[in-house]
Chains A and B, each alone.
Chain A
């Protein structure tokens, strides 16, 4: 990619002397660097389990907490990106690796993220004894698990769908593996990857908030950050503090969007393989300003130099006349041996898990947990249905009005990014006030944050419906239910499915924090697998956490396979407009 960022500007001529734009940008860059260095230094402070970590509810401390949460998010994203590039590339390039990596990824993405946190935190603390960095890592790991899988799937899918003729060009012009990755594969995958990074960060705020206050063996460790601030405010029943936290979060999300994603998306637009006519080109004031600076040209000389330096190092040294060109190690029997080997390992793992569960919790409890899972499943289905009934008509109404849609769309996307768990205390207060049923009224919390995915996908589906279709419908006087049945529903179905998949996955994850909510020392608990995991996490009962997580994982996979994948295929094959 370095080659493609900017036109070559290796010579340091007068063109590289600072200009007006540099004056504006330089302080900004220095400030960002300083803030990052300061926050980073704070992450590795000495700490032993049991030491009190004081969180102050003073609103003036919030910018600092926001910075710490920011850094966790950024670290999680960076780790996710590196993981994505390595894991997906391996899976796409090696048939043997693919056979194990892809199913593993499929399971990983179905595991509830907060389950990861409970299971891994002890290990991370042991890794950095006497230092807060271990807990910090556990939190970052939780954020990573909320971000990495969809990015990896997207990158893998892109690698597999690089057009055949471009591969042939790469072969024909002797591109090395190195050159191929930076000039063909990564650019081709970039738009999808960046879109998924945005979705990841958007979903990630929820887990930043949820993962900062970690419970280890009955002890609660609170990392400095927005999430801990909220946790503190909840336990002290401080409503104004929650208001301040919500405000800070709003500002934080806007900053992330403006300083990071907008420039990135605007820049990545050139990697789009084919653009539709009339499609709006994303813009960013920051990118525009940056591109006018000479500073950027100076900095961009670095990747260009690196790229030039790397070319001879990684170059392919022989062509098709050399006997070494095509080495084929492919042994037909090795495929079968490999498959058998993997199946053997899987069977052994299942056997050992069964044994462990039998010894620690017993079969009865396993059945009980499956019933709890059913309760949560019913909640998810009912909530998605209700959300669809509410948001589909509204989304279509908005989507058919382009001006309005332009205004509403960013708000919907912002709402999806906003960590809904910040709002939970309000719900608890309401439920207590009206003395409402806990089983029913904690449920909407599950979908509080994820319903927006349905809304903004439906809006974009309705917006992208060709206007001829609507003209035809008008022309033939298609009205009422018939209009919905023949035109609108089929038209938005693919976008709706995309939104509903995200909403459903998010709801399962959210069940862990939403089926058990507290306000001060009042705790409301609904029956479900989410509260089962949350409850056992607090108790530090490792086998039961594992059981809960495994069962939820089964449900999520079942949902994905039996419902969403089918609907997705239906949408892909039949209702695509092209």
Chain B
């Protein structure tokens, strides 16, 4: 540590866990070390659930770390600090306040006199390009304009450090690019007093385009896996080979380890299954055998072709890899022989293949099927499985994972689910060999 004043934010060995209902701890962040220096923009990238938003909130003082040091200019943080401001993914504007009132919110809290408040707010609104909209209500504004209000609200506080939680992800591509370019311009021309920016992103290209360094998080528990410097001058041309090389490098790092192809060992019950519908998986595999890729695709190109944001693509790739249809290597998605068979098969065969893979590689799926097989009435409430999952995952995550496995199980026709009662059961053909499985749909016809 050369000079304390140089360091805006300094994290040492930060650890965060949430307490599960059974009093076991689920570790979200483990031994995170990070420094934000004066004059830099740093991007945080990682799969959803890697704790990057949690880390941002710890720095913001919105939640406490359970261990390690969190320092702002050498002083320990135990709550939101005056020199740090934040921009939210959802904009989080107060809908009953006008643009100006929203921007003045933080100044009112500091009891800045009305006249000075107004002057500062109008200036911030002007700088961010919303002049003329002071008296508008947020509901009158488009998404991009709302986020501009979010920026003005943060910048009017004249923060040292600006934190941004996926600030552009709720906007369409064009709006996001304009807004981030505007912000970069303000930053470079020193029109804002901010000395350091830290932002969470789920878009690799956006992260590389804006930041001086990209930090990549691994999940379970979240920790800094790699750091990629971006030594390019602004404004950056996204078609430049040097830029593309860095994007490729980040893709490669992000898909490095967790995407192992399905091996002999099944996944643990509490594995965070990726969010990917069976039909999206089908779509990806069909895209991969298209002539332009011929079984092997560069990830940025694949993301482009499928028109998916990066995090959705990672989920999809992971699902494909878990089921043994593809493999991800050095930033490329490669179709495995099984995937090719799948792509060329008809619907029924596809489902059989999917079911086979599901049963042999996803232990949660096979576990559910076994439970249903063993029960005399072949039915089990979902609560039972959620409870089992909660040993490993948070409540929300447990529900999401079960929902995911149900979607796959239904597609593969290895089990059925009734939303109203929340009961899982065997599909009707399996249950009674053949027979009056059509009883329920027959009722409608009879009523006619």
Interface of B is mostly: loop
Assess the A321–B447 pair: CB atoms within 8 A. Answer: no
User: Which one, B76, B108, B153, contacts A179 given CB within 8 A?
Assistant: B108
At the interface, yes or no: A401 with Cβ under 8 Å from chain B?
A: no
Min CB gap B11→A, angstroms: 15
Min CB gap A213→B, angstroms: 43
Q: How far is the CA of A319 from the CA of B82 in the complex (A)?
A: 6
Q: Which residues of A contact B77 (CB under 8 A)?
A: 320-321
Min CB gap A236→B, angstroms: 53
At the interface, yes or no: B90 with Cβ under 8 Å from chain A?
A: yes
**A165-198 to B contact mask, C-beta < 8 Å, 1/0:** 1101101111110010001100100100000000
Interface size class of B (residues with CB under 8 A): 35 or more
Q: How far is the CA of A325 from the CA of B77 in the complex (A)?
A: 9
**B68-79 to A contact mask, C-beta < 8 Å, 1/0:** 000010011111
Min CB gap B198→A, angstroms: 14
Assess the B80–A10 pair: CB atoms within 8 A. Answer: no
Q: How far is the CA of A183 from the CA of B62 in the complex (A)?
A: 19
User: Which one, B60, B98, B109, B114, contacts A308 given CB within 8 A?
Assistant: B114
**A247-262 to B contact mask, C-beta < 8 Å, 1/0:** 0000000000000000
At the interface, yes or no: B111 with Cβ under 8 Å from chain A?
A: yes
Closest Cβ neighbor of A324 among chain B residues? B78
Q: Which residues of A contact B79 (CB under 8 A)?
A: 171, 319-320, 322, 325-326
Closest Cβ neighbor of A313 among chain B residues? B111
Within 8 A of A (CB), among B136-168: 137, 139, 153, 157
Q: Which residues of B contact A176 (CB under 8 A)?
A: 109
Q: Which residues of A contact B137 (CB under 8 A)?
A: 270
Assess the A174–B110 pair: CB atoms within 8 A. Answer: yes
Assess the A173–B153 pair: CB atoms within 8 A. Answer: yes
Assess the B80–A4 pair: CB atoms within 8 A. Answer: no
Assess the A321–B75 pair: CB atoms within 8 A. Answer: yes
Q: Given the interface contacts A171-B80, A315-B109, A320-B79, does A184 sit within 8 Å of B447 by beta carbon?
A: no
Assess the B139–A275 pair: CB atoms within 8 A. Answer: yes
**B5-49 to A contact mask, C-beta < 8 Å, 1/0:** 000000000000000000000000000000000000000000000
Best-buried of A172, A179, A320, A482 by chain B (most CB within 10 Å): A172
Number of A-B contacts (CB under 8 A): 114
At the interface, yes or no: A433 with Cβ under 8 Å from chain B?
A: no
Closest Cβ neighbor of B420 among chain A residues? A574
At the interface, yes or no: A8 with Cβ under 8 Å from chain B?
A: yes
Q: How far is the CA of A574 from the CA of B421 in the complex (A)?
A: 10
Best-buried of B75, B79, B82 by chain A (most CB within 10 Å): B79
Assess the B105–A183 pair: CB atoms within 8 A. Answer: yes
At the interface, yes or no: B135 with Cβ under 8 Å from chain A?
A: yes
Q: Which residues of A contact B97 (CB under 8 A)?
A: 3-4, 183
At the interface, yes or no: A61 with Cβ under 8 Å from chain B?
A: no
Closest Cβ neighbor of B422 among chain A residues? A573
Q: Which residues of B contact A271 (CB under 8 A)?
A: 95-96
Q: How far is the CA of A72 from the CA of B62 in the complex (A)?
A: 46
Q: Given contacts A168-B62, A187-B94, A312-B111, list 6 more A-B pairs with CB under 8 A.
A: A8-B114, A271-B95, A275-B139, A319-B82, A325-B78, A485-B447
Can you list 25 contacts pairing A with B, beta carbon distance less than 8 Å? A4-B97, A4-B101, A10-B114, A169-B92, A169-B94, A169-B105, A171-B62, A172-B80, A174-B110, A179-B109, A183-B105, A187-B94, A270-B95, A271-B95, A273-B95, A274-B95, A308-B114, A311-B111, A320-B61, A320-B80, A321-B72, A321-B82, A481-B447, A482-B444, A482-B448
